[in-house]
Amino acid sequence: MRTPVMPSTGELRPLGTDEVRITGGHWFERQAVNAAATIRHCLHWLEALDWIGNFDRVAAGEAPGRPFQRAGREFSDSEVYKLAEAMAWEIGRTGDPGLEEEFQKLTARIGAAQHEDGYLNTAFGNPGQEPRYSNLEWGHELYCAGHLIQAAVARLRNHGEDEFTRIARRVADHVCDTFGPGGIERICGHAEIEVALAELSRETGESRYLEQARLFIERHGRKTLKENGFYYQDDTAVRDAEVLRGHAVRALYLSSGAIDVAVETGDDELLEAVRAQWERTVARRTHLTGGMGSQYADEAFGRDFALNPDRAYAESCAGIAAIMTAWRLTLATGDSRYGDMIERIAWNVLSGAVAPDGKSFFYANPLHQRTADPEPPADGALPHTRAGGNRAHWFDVSCCPTNLARTFAQFAAYIATTSEHGLQIHQFTPCTIDTVVDGARLALTVETDYPEEGRVTVRVDANEGGTREITFRVPAWAEDVRLIHPDGSVHEVDPAAVSVGRIGEFSPGDELHLEFSVAPRWTFPDPRVDAVRGCAAVERGPVVLCAESLDLPGGDLDELTVDTTVAPVERDGAVHVAARIHDRPDAWPYGPAAADDDGKAAEIPLLPFRLRATRGPAAMRVWLPVN
Ligand SMILES: [Zn+2]
């Protein structure tokens, strides 16, 4: 089964990339660009910066006149592994022989650096380096091992056992030998090993890996790491926490691993604890774009409702990690509402984090860019802490590009699921689905221009099993929702009460149509989100829009206010809003009443947030001050 997550039990069964093929539209384009540009771009940079070369140097060892010198940060091995995972998914998707050759070359170089007992890391435990596991807080050794294991799971599911997967099995066995009961009973400062071991257990049937994942989950909160427990979720047991906190990517990888362990061990209390943490995090600590991790300091979740748009960190990796968590919750609970958040993040964080050409990336995804920063140079890695403004070709800490590459390559795995008698469509994209429901084949074709248009057509190509229930996730924001059955009957669907549209019997050629409005709409913040009080944003379907200074008379976004009494309109392929452009003098900006300068009326075009900074440097904002 070609899917990154394959629970042995749960409400829904995910369909793999061998069962769902994306055949057109935005995600088809993103996958094509990922294959043609992003994966090779990452490979280029990992070679150019010599992060892959670290494996060669470990293999060659130290010799007189050849001191061991390592390139990159202590966690750079993980980028090589995430790229390997992207390659494994892409090879499975297209069978690209050139990429397969690269994968095998990479395998040989990684394998040559593995120690006799399975240990594999280029930053510790080699000549001239600190000993293994001497810095669990910041060393990232188990984090790197986790990404290697996730890549191996991808390889096993897309190809089968080979040298790469054998390397990873030896690493996994070494981790269990070293960190099991009586061993080093501590955790890694960056969660990731948990989700990886749980999935390797699912794939191999080896219960030892699941047990080790469970141990790591249970050890969080026992304060086995020095200081900073909050930052790496070692302050409170996973099952006792009330909300996601600390470093956002760490928190969400940990949540994903905890759900996997909970599902596989029948630990309903743990599952419910993580689900509740997610709900509270969505309700209090998440930006309109779905971006998580609201503060630059520590790349972390901020306090409840502290959601500053211009200091939103909303790291691309946190978006990916949030999708990992939300997808696991979808599968475990069967609640389609998690798909709303997956869609929001996918369209606004993930898709915008990569340039249309696939060769530059956002690390942070703030909702407000105050200045039109110059474009970064093409030949140097940018500090990840200076990560707003424009996409960069690479970063000193470059977790996001390879993470995005693996996620796009596996994206078809997040589209649909099956249950005992039915099939559920969670994300709308042109695709073909060919699977087995209740022992009999069901094949469908999905056609749509979504989200340009709010119409999704599902055609039944084969149904060998009689009565089937096909279910759509209806987005919570959708209005005027109608489901048109094959007999032409029209059924109103209330997304507030019923998140799905259902229908039963099918024959080949039957068509179902789901229709709803994707007209642009004003969105207002809860007043508790005080950083954007007095502002409004525009969304169109799942797409969050923004204003860029390039489209403003005078080019000064600070002088823009909008009139929300006028509905946004679509014209010439863009959404326009009624606005006023002010020209306010420099003066003390506070007083007893609102300024009476009402400026000049104007109509301002908006663009999808994901397309910001694609026409050159610009100031940008999602939340627009209301006139
Ligand atoms: Zn990242």
Instruction: Report how far ligand 1's centroid is from the alpha carbon of 399 (Å).
Output: 4
Average pLDDT taken over every residue of the chain: 94
pLDDT score of 503: 63
Residue 597: pLDDT band (50, 70, 90) is: low
Residue 469: pLDDT band (50, 70, 90) is: confident
Instruction: Give strand ranges (E) for 494-553.
Output: 500-501, 511-517, 521-523, 535-540, 543-548
Which residues contact residue 54 at a Cβ distance below 8 angstroms, ignoring those fewer than 6 apart? 70, 71, 72, 76, 77, 113, 122, 123
pLDDT 10s digits, 560-584: 999 999 999 999 999 999 999 999 8
Instruction: Report how far ligand 1's centroid is from the alpha carbon of 306 (Å).
Output: 21
pLDDT score of 403: 98
CB 387 within 8 A of CB 613: no
Instruction: Report how far ligand 1's centroid is from the alpha carbon of 100 (Å).
Output: 26
Exposure string for 538-572, b = 16+ CB within 10 A, e = fewer: bbbbbbbbbbbbbbbeeeebebbbbebeeebeeee
Instruction: Report how far ligand 1's centroid is from the alpha carbon of 447 (Å).
Output: 33
Exposure string for 152-173, b = 16+ CB within 10 A, e = fewer: bbbbbbbbeeeebbebbbbbbb
pLDDT score of 244: 98
Specify the higher pLDDT residue, 468 or 453. Answer: 453
pLDDT 10s digits, 193-225: 999 999 999 999 999 999 999 999 999 999 999
Instruction: Report how far ligand 1's centroid is from the alpha carbon of 360 (Å).
Output: 13
pLDDT score of 499: 44
Between CA 578 and CA 561 the distance in angstroms is 9
pLDDT at residue 502 is higher than 80: no
pLDDT score of 387: 62
pLDDT score of 123: 97
Instruction: Report how far ligand 1's centroid is from the alpha carbon of 364 (Å).
Output: 8
The pair of three-digit structure tokens given for residue 141, joined into one six-digit string: 């050794």
Instruction: Report how far ligand 1's centroid is from the alpha carbon of 378 (Å).
Output: 19
pLDDT 10s digits, 408-460: 999 999 999 999 889 999 999 999 999 999 999 999 999 999 999 999 999 99
Instruction: Report how far ligand 1's centroid is from the alpha carbon of 424 (Å).
Output: 31
- Ranked by mean pLDDT, which of 266-280, 362-376, 588-602 comes out on top? 266-280
Instruction: Report how far ligand 1's centroid is from the alpha carbon of 407 (Å).
Output: 12
pLDDT at residue 65 is higher than 80: no
Instruction: Report how far ligand 1's centroid is from the alpha carbon of 397 (Å).
Output: 8
